[in-house]
Amino acid sequence: MNPYSERPWVKLYTPGQPADLTPGFGDALAIFRAAAGRAAEKPAVQYFDATLSYGDVDRDSDALAAALGRRGFRAGDRLAIYLQNVPDFVIAMLAAWKAGGIAVPVNPMNRERELGILLADARPAALVCHDTLHRDVVANLDEAGRALVPETVIVTSPADWQRRNDPRLFRDVQPVDRPGTERMQALLARHRGEAPVQAAAPKSGDTAFLVYTSGTTGLPKGAMNTHGNLAFNAQIYRDWCGLTEGVGVLGVAPLFHITGLVGHILAAFITASPLALAFRFDPGVMLDAAQERRPGFTVAAITALMAMMNHPDATAGHLESLKTIYSGGAPIPPAVVEQFRAKFGHYIHNIYGLTETSSPTHATPLGREAPVDPNSGALSVGVPISGAEVWIAAEDGSAAPVGEAGEIVSSGPMVVPGYWNKPAETAASMKPDGFRTGDVAFMDEAGWFYLTDRKKDMINAAGYKVWPREVEDVLYTHPAVREAAVVGVRDDYRGETVKAAVSLKAGAKLEPADLIAWCKPRMAAYKYPRQVVILPELPKTPTGKILRRELRDG
Ligand code: AMP
C-alpha cells in the first residue's frame, strides 16, 4: 500500500490548519494591492533610517511601471533585478507585474560570466541594478554579453533612500554616474503621478518570476514561478507561521532567492507588514535592525542565524520582538537549535522546499518541535504543508515503505509548471506523478520527513547552491588543467564548502593558489573552490568516470 496517499502527517498539523487550502488570492499583485488598499499609511519597507509606506511603494511602482511602458516594456517582457536587499527591489518587482511583465531576480554576487548566461536566457527588456554592479560587472561583459544588455538600464545607489550610510556595509556610497543609464531616483521623481499603465491583471497561471537555479548540466534554468504558485505559498507562510496583520518581517535572506521573494516580500504583503531590509547580510547590522524595527517573524538559512547568535554583541534583547523563526535552505544541526534557544529564547522551526516549489513543501507545524532521527542525527524538515502531495520514490520508481529512503517527489499548487525555454529539462524533472526534487529522504510512522542525502551532486554552502559541473567548466578553461572534479566537503561554518581536484597537462606547473585566483573573478564568491588539490591522476572507474565520492572522502 502507498503510505503517502493517506497523508498521515495531517494529524500533526496545528489545530485549525486544513489538509487542503483554498488561496484567498489568485495572483501576487492582488496581494499587494489589497495591502495598499487597507494599509496605505502603514510601513511597507524599512531600510536603515528610511520607511516607505504601502502608499509610497504603490505610487513608486506605478511610476516605474509607467516609465518602463514609455520605454517599450510590454506584457510578457522580463525585467532583470540585479540588486541587494534594497527598497528598489520591491518597487521594481511590482512595477514589472503592473506593466504585465515578469520579474527576473539576479543574484548580486554574480559576475560577468554568470550574468551573461542569464541575460542570454531571460532576454530582459530592462535591467535595474546597483550603479556599482554596473561599473564592476555590466560594463565589463564581453562583446556577446554587452549585446544582450537591454537599452533601458536603471541604476540605484545604496545611498538612495537612506541617510545612515552604515560603515559596516558601505565604504563609499556616493552615487556613481554611469553612462547609458538612468538613475532610479530621478526616474521615479519624473514619473510620479503619471497615469498608471493599463496592463491586464495577472492570471494565476502567468509567470511572475524567473528564478534561476543551476543543475547537473551546469547551465542555470529559470524556474517559472507563477502568480498562483506565489499566492498559494504566501498564504502558507501566513497561516503556517501564524503571521498576524502588521507583524513585521526581518529580511535576513537575500531577496533574489525564493525564500526572500516568498518568505519575506510576499509574507509581508499578505499581512500588510513592514519588511525590514538591510542591503546585504551582516550579522551585527541585522541584529541592530531587529532591535530597532521590532519584527515578529523571519525565515533564513541556518548559517545566517548562527552568525547572529555568535556575534560578540548579540544579546537576547536583540531578537526579543520575534515571535516565530523558521529556517530552511540547508540542513540544521540540532545542537544549533538548542544553542539558539538558550541564547535568544526562540525555537527554530525547520522548513523545506526548493526554488521549483516556490519555497516550502514541508514545514514544522507551529507549536510543535521537529523530532531528530536517532540513527542519522538529522533534524526532521517537517511535514508536508496543506495542499502538498508528497511521496518518496524508491529506486524502482515505486512508493518507498515507511522508514525507507528514496527521492522526494512533490506536487501541488506551489510547484512550478516548468523551466523557461527548457522543455527537455522540464520534462526530465516535472513528471506526471510529481516533481523530482533530487533530495533523498524518508518518512517516519507519524509522517515526519528527514533528509538523509542528495541524489544530485549539488553542494550546499550556507544555503547557496553550487553545482560541481559549473565550477569544473571554469577550471577546464585554465590552460594547464587536464582533468577537474569538484565536490562538497564538510565545513563547520558553511555546512559544506567547495573542493576541487585537478590533474595537469604534461609539463604544466600550477599551484593551488593560482587556480583559486583563476576561479575567483569568474564566479560568485560562494562558488569558487576553497580547497584545491593537484593530483597526478583523478580516481576513475574502469569505464573512465571520475569517482567524486572518493575525492569527497579522501
Ligand atoms: P533552492 O532551490 O536554492 O531553494 O535549494 C533547494 C535545496 O535546498 C533542496 O533541494 C535541499 O537540498 C536544500 N534544502 C532546502 N531546505 C532544506 C532544509 N530545511 N534542510 C536541508 N536542506 C534543505
CA of 261 to the centre of ligand 1 (A): 15
Choice from 262, 352, 449 to test ligand 1 binding pocket (greatest atom count within 8 A of CB):
352
Residue 211 lies in a domain: no
- Number of separate helices (H) and strands (E) present in the chain: 17, 26
Ligand 1 atom, smallest distance to 438 CA? 10
Choice from 354, 373, 383, 527 to test ligand 1 binding pocket (greatest atom count within 8 A of CB):
354
CA of 247 to the centre of ligand 1 (A): 26
Alpha carbon of 412 to those of 223, 255, 280, 486: distances in Å? 15, 24, 32, 34
Q: Classify 136 as helix, strand or coil.
A: helix
Single-letter amino acid code for the residue at 511: E
Instruction: Please check whether residue 501 is in contact with residue 466, taking contact to mean a CB–CB distance below 8 angstroms.
Output: no
CA of 329 to the centre of ligand 1 (A): 4
Half-sphere exposure of 441 (CA within 13 A, CB side): 28
The cell for 208 is 511572475
The protein residue whose alpha carbon is closest to atom 1 in ligand 1 is 354
- Give the pLDDT confidence score for residue 454 in this predicted structure: 82
* E strand or H helix at 444: none
For the domain that residue 510 is a member of, what is the CATH number? 3.30.300.30
CA of 328 to the centre of ligand 1 (A): 7
Choice from 326, 449, 451, 526 to test ligand 1 binding pocket (greatest atom count within 8 A of CB):
451
- Give the pLDDT confidence score for residue 219 in this predicted structure: 81
Distance CA 495, CA 492 (A): 6
Residue 149 lies in a domain: yes
Domain limits for position 506: 458-553
Residue 272 lies in a domain: no
Using a 6 Å CB cutoff, which residues line ligand 1? 213, 258, 328-331, 350-352, 354-355, 381, 437-439, 451, 454, 460, 465
- Give the pLDDT confidence score for residue 548 in this predicted structure: 81
Last residue of a domain, one of 149, 182, 202: 202
Choice from 107, 211, 381, 464 to test ligand 1 binding pocket (greatest atom count within 8 A of CB):
381
Single-letter amino acid code for the residue at 475: L
- Give the pLDDT confidence score for residue 453 in this predicted structure: 83
Residue 352 lies in a domain: no
Residue 265 lies in a domain: no
* E strand or H helix at 348: strand 348-354
Q: Classify 523 as helix, strand or coil.
A: coil
Ligand 1 atom, smallest distance to 213 CA? 2
User: Using CB atoms within 10 A of its CB, is residue 536 exposed (0-12), middle (13-18) or buried (19+)?
Assistant: exposed
Ligand 1 atom, smallest distance to 356 CA? 2
CA of 364 to the centre of ligand 1 (A): 15
- Give the pLDDT confidence score for residue 44 in this predicted structure: 99
CA of 241 to the centre of ligand 1 (A): 18
The protein residue whose alpha carbon is closest to atom 14 in ligand 1 is 329
**Runs of H (alpha helix) within 477-554:** 512-519, 548-553
pLDDT in tens, the chain (554 residues): 689 999 999 999 999 999 999 999 999 999 999 999 999 999 999 999 999 999 999 999 999 999 999 999 999 999 999 999 999 999 999 999 999 999 999 999 999 999 999 999 999 999 999 999 999 999 999 999 999 999 999 999 999 999 999 999 998 788 888 999 999 999 999 999 998 788 899 999 999 999 999 876 668 999 999 999 999 999 999 999 999 999 999 999 999 999 999 999 999 999 999 999 999 999 999 999 999 999 999 999 999 999 999 999 999 999 999 999 999 999 999 999 999 999 999 999 999 999 999 999 999 999 999 999 999 899 999 999 999 999 999 999 999 999 999 999 999 999 999 999 999 999 999 999 999 999 999 999 999 999 998 888 899 999 999 999 999 999 999 999 999 999 999 998 899 999 999 999 999 999 999 999 999 999 999 999 999 999 999 988 887 788 887 887 66
For the domain that residue 75 is a member of, what is the CATH number? 3.40.50.980
Ligand 1 atom, smallest distance to 454 CA? 12
CA of 373 to the centre of ligand 1 (A): 18
The cell for 363 is 514545514
Ligand 1 atom, smallest distance to 379 CA? 20
CA of 178 to the centre of ligand 1 (A): 37
Ligand 1 atom, smallest distance to 327 CA? 19
- Give the pLDDT confidence score for residue 541 in this predicted structure: 81
Residue 310 lies in a domain: no
- Give the DSSP per-residue string, 85-105: B-HHHHHHHHHHHHTT-EEEE
- Give the pLDDT confidence score for residue 173 in this predicted structure: 84
Residue 302 lies in a domain: no
The protein residue whose alpha carbon is closest to atom 6 in ligand 1 is 354
CA of 465 to the centre of ligand 1 (A): 9
CA of 250 to the centre of ligand 1 (A): 20
Instruction: Please check whether residue 548 is in contact with residue 485, taking contact to mean a CB–CB distance below 8 angstroms.
Output: yes
CA of 340 to the centre of ligand 1 (A): 21
Residue 88 lies in a domain: yes
CA of 420 to the centre of ligand 1 (A): 21
- Name the domain count of the chain: 2
Q: What is the pTM of this model?
A: 0.95
Last residue of a domain, one of 143, 175, 202: 202
Last residue of a domain, one of 171, 202, 233: 202
Single-letter amino acid code for the residue at 187: L
Ligand 1 atom, smallest distance to 355 CA? 2
Instruction: Please check whether residue 527 is in contact with residue 466, taking contact to mean a CB–CB distance below 8 angstroms.
Output: yes
